[in-house]
Amino acid sequence: MSLTEGKVQVYTGNGKGKTTAALGLALRAVGRGLKVCMVQFIKGGGEYGEHIAAERLAPLLTIHQTGRDCWIYKDRLDPQDVAIARGTLNLARETLTGGEYDLVILDEINGAAWFGLITVEDILDLIKLRPEQVELVLTGRSADPRVIEAADLVTEMVEVKHYYQAGVPARTGIEK
């Protein structure tokens, strides 16, 4: 099965749930026999639950995790982080245009642009390259207004309350 007409979706905002929403869409698509690929920008740091699930749902769900296991600082970018993000951008381009996937999720791509690891123009170019039948999902905080304008659907996650503020660390199976 494949899509006849794909759209561009953006999940952004400071609230929790952007990647989770994209994974929910991936699960729905896989359930209908669509092939899904998630390319994760700036998400190094070990195996998350979604990586284990992807192994179980292969070959319909593929996840490529990239990035180092460290914080990125906008005012002092490490050249290694920039190089990794540029390579991830190339992987995203190949994944999007390669003809293998019905749904392509570029996880944390908006954050990668906000940090300056890639440009907003890079994201807009990917949107323009999207084959008509491919659904494209872009996640991450701080989506640029030009990306929002180019999208067909935009959802903003707003943090109202989060237990992290009370000192609760990321929990296995929930946040990681």
Tell me: pLDDT of 162 over 90: no
State both tokens at 30.
Answer: 């896989």
Q: Give residue-wise pLDDT tens across range 8-17.
A: 999 999 999 9
**Distance, CA of 126 to CA of 92 (rounded, Å):** 8
What size, in residues, is the chain? 176
The whole-model pTM stands at: 0.94
Q: Give residue-wise pLDDT tens across range 130-158.
A: 999 999 999 999 999 999 999 999 999 99
Q: Give residue-wise pLDDT tens across range 55-106.
A: 999 999 999 999 999 989 999 999 999 999 999 999 999 999 999 999 999 9
Residue 93, exposed/middle/buried by CB under 10 A (0-12, 13-18, 19+)? middle
What fold is seen in the domain 8-166? Rossmann fold (3.40.50)
